[in-house]
């Protein structure tokens, strides 16, 4: 079997049928669909059962207790039988020619990874280019450095759903249970060892994937989990920087990206409904305890993404937590006032 199309599922009853139908509409028939239901509480499980009964030779549905998307993806990989892995999120769709075009490129070039673009489902004119390279560009040897930079310093390359991956280069047997707290950026976390192992990467400059923009509010718990996710991801990144031949300037940029994420989480914490001043102070002190001998304090002064962030950073490294809290809240209020006046 050439392809395993893997769908991690959690509470997606509204869009799940559209997602599965888009895979069943493929013009290539050399594939299986594996769906792992991560303890959904809506009708998602029922929908999977219905499709599995209708297409028993194509669809396998697996149901388990909720563990989060990272461990759900690991379970999917362990169940996959295809030579190549294609990911589809349960609220998105793929174009009918995707697997056929991937098959043609695999037969022609035998790449380890094929990268392609995506468009926004509700706005087909909005296409996000993963690499902005000519169609069918091959990245091998030193050329892969372009991919590493794009992956660690940007966002457009960091999604699993725009990658077709040879199954044998994936660290399927690795134990990821210690990383179950990684809930933000888990795609990048999984992609780092994959691109390290890939010898040949091909880029198709075409939007085969349709991504659905689903609005969601950041919860109290997510405010804290974002930082700990990014810290774990940065630790993994750091282990590859020297191996991938990153220059001192490039390493500084990777560190700055993480510093921006840390400050961003402090800002989110201060402005998230339900988070008290005392909880913010405890969170800031916890970050300090983790970072004091690590990245944030190692290369000051930094170039952060905005003037307010640079100011927040200076207060943070001085441990002026109370002043930092009030300053973040004040600037947020001023920003809302300016927006209301402008509208």
**CATH code, domain carrying 128:** 3.90.550.10
Which residue would you say has higher pLDDT here, 186 or 300? 186
SS3 state at 221: helix
Q: Are residues 134 and 13 in the same domain?
A: yes
Say whether both 105 and 164 belong to one domain.
yes
The total domain count for the chain is: 2
pLDDT band at 220 (very low <50, low <70, confident <90, very high): low
pLDDT digits (tens, 9 = 90+) for 50-70: 999 999 999 999 999 999 999
d(CA 150, CA 147): 5
pLDDT of residue 31: 98
Q: What is the rounded distance in angstroms from the CA atom of residue 301 to the CA atom of residue 320?
A: 16
Show which of 179, 211, 243 is a domain's final residue. 211
Lowest mean pLDDT among 20-24, 142-146, 213-217, 272-276: 213-217
Give me the mean pLDDT over the 195-207 stretch.
Answer: 98
Please give the average per-residue pLDDT across 223-240, as a whole number. 91
Confidence of residue 332 (pLDDT cuts 50, 70, 90): confident
166, β-bridge pairs: 84
pLDDT, average across residues 89-98: 98
- Looking at the fold, whether 231 and 152 belong to one and the same domain comes out as no
Residues 198 and 258 grouped into a single domain: no
Q: How large is the average pLDDT for residues 70-79?
A: 98
Range of the domain at 272: 220-342
Q: Residue 142: its pLDDT value, please?
A: 96
**Sequence-separated (6 or more) residues with CB below 8 Å from residue 125:** 119
The pLDDT of residue 272:
86
- pLDDT digit string, tens, across residues 246-305: 998 899 889 888 988 899 999 999 998 888 999 999 999 999 999 887 767 665 445 677
Residue partners of 49: CB distance under 8 A and separation at least 6? 61
pTM summary value: 0.93
Instruction: Judge if 231 and 199 occupy the same domain.
Output: no
- Supply the pLDDT for residue 334: 80
Residues 156 and 230 in one domain: no
Average pLDDT (103-132) is 94
**Cβ(6)–Cβ(37) under 8 Å?**
no
More confident residue, 221 or 63: 63
pLDDT tens track for 1-29: 999 999 999 999 999 999 999 999 999 99
| 202 and 226 housed in the same domain | no
For 106, the 3-state DSSP assignment is: helix
User: What mean pLDDT, rounded, does the chain reach?
Assistant: 92
Do residues 183 and 55 share a domain?
yes
- pLDDT for 306 equals 83
Where does a domain end: 189, 211, 233? Answer: 211
Confidence (pLDDT) at 123:
87
Give the pLDDT score at 273. 81
Alpha-carbon gap, residue 283 to 270, rounded angstroms: 10
Q: Please tell me whether residues 186 and 272 are part of one structural domain.
A: no
| Chain CA centroid to CA 187, Å | 3
One domain for residues 264 and 299: yes
pLDDT of residue 127: 94
- Check whether residue 50 and residue 112 sit in a common domain: yes
Average pLDDT over residues 37-53: 98
214 pLDDT above the threshold of 90: no
Q: What is the mean pLDDT of residues 177-196?
A: 96
At residue 224, the pLDDT reads 77
Q: Which of 182, 211, 240 is the last residue of a domain?
A: 211
- The label of the residue with tokens 């809290």 reads 325
Largest CA distance in the chain: 62
270 and 310 housed in the same domain: yes
């Amino acid at each position: 079997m050439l392809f395993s199309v893997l769908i991690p599922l959690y509470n997606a009853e509204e869009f799940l049928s559209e997602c599965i139908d888009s895979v069943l509409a493929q013009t290539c028939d050399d594939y299986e669909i594996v769906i792992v239901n991560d303890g959904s509480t809506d009708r998602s499980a029922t929908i999977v059962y219905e499709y599995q009964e209708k297409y028993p030779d194509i669809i396998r549905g697996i149901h388990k207790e909720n563990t989060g998307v990272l461990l759900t993806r690991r379970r999917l990989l362990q169940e996959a039988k295809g030579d190549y892995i294609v990911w589809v999120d349960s609220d998105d769709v793929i174009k009918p020619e995707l697997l056929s075009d991937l098959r043609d490129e695999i037969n022609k070039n035998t790449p380890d990874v094929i990268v392609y673009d995506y468009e926004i489902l509700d706005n087909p004119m909005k296409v996000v280019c993963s690499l902005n390279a000519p169609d069918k560009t091959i990245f091998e040897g030193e050329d892969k450095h372009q991919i590493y930079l794009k992956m660690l310093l940007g966002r457009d390359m960091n999604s699993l759903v725009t990658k077709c991956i040879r199954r044998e280069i994936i660290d399927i047997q690795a134990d990821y249970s210690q990383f179950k707290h990684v809930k933000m950026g888990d795609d990048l976390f999984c992609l780092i060892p994959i691109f390290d192992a890939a010898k040949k990467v091909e880029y198709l400059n075409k939007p085969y994937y349709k991504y659905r923009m689903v609005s969601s509010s950041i919860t109290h718990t997510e405010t804290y989990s974002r930082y700990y996710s990014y810290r774990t991801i940065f630790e993994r990144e750091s282990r590859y920087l020297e191996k991938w031949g990153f220059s001192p300037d490039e390493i500084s940029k990777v560190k700055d990206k993480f510093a921006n994420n840390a400050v961003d989480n402090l800002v989110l914490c201060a402005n998230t409904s339900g988070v008290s001043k005392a909880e913010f102070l405890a969170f800031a002190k916890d970050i300090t305890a983790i970072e004091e001998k690590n990245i944030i304090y190692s290369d000051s002064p930094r170039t952060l993404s905005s003037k307010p962030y640079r100011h927040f950073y200076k207060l943070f490294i001085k441990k002026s937590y109370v002043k930092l809290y009030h300053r973040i809240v004040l600037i947020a209020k001023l920003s809302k006032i300016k927006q209301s006046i402008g509208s």
